[in-house]
Amino acid sequence: MKDLYKHISLTLKTLRRERGWSLDKTAEETGVSKAMLGQIEREESSPTIATLWKIASGFGTSFSSFIADIGTDFKAPIHRSGKTKHLHPEDKKIRVMPLFPFDKELHFEIFIIELLPGCEHLSPPHKHGVIEHVIAVDGEIEILVDGTWQPLKKGEGLRFNANQPHGYRNLTSTLACFHDIIHYPE
């Protein structure tokens, strides 16, 4: 887990340096407080998934860039597997794993997301043009789009513009799992 927080910290520092942004400018662009950003950079605080999404959206970058090393060799087949991770110690209801981190050529990333019973995760709007494709793999979930919770059963999918508040929830008593494909505009 310490390696993950170090990666998040280094990614945030690198993005700020590349853009020449101060902590004040970063706070303004991301909606995350200057104090929290400083704590993340010093590895004194573990950001929630919602906080990481705000930071990624503010920089106009992918979420997976903060949690996974991104390879650049796309000529050979890539086989990926693994376990989902708790990104934040208090976030005990949602687990996220980048199955395929952000692809610079195709402008998308794919996540496996597990929602434990009773989980409700709200996501802030992403940048204009970001599209999400959610496919229920196991269990039943609901997706908040256009202010309405829409149910999805195993094998069903939903595509929506993610430049609006949206969310995911599991109201059942069993684990639910879905794939989330996020496409970013060029």
> What pLDDT score does 85 carry?
55
Pick the CATH number of 2-66 from 1.10.10.10, 1.20.1440.230, 3.40.50.360, 1.10.260.40: 1.10.260.40
Compute the distance between CA of residue 96 and CA of residue 180 in angstroms, rounded to an integer.
10
> What pLDDT score does 186 carry?
80
Taking the domain 94-183, which CATH number applies? 2.60.120.10
> What pLDDT score does 63 carry?
82
User: Is residue 72 within 8 Å of 61, Cβ to Cβ?
Assistant: no
Chain Cα centroid distance, residue 34? 21
pTM: predicted TM-score of the whole model, two decimal places = 0.75
Q: Which residue positions in the chain have pLDDT lower than 70?
A: 1, 68-91
Domain positions in the chain:
2-66, 94-183
pLDDT, one tens digit per residue, over 136-167 is: 999 999 999 999 999 999 999 999 999 999 99
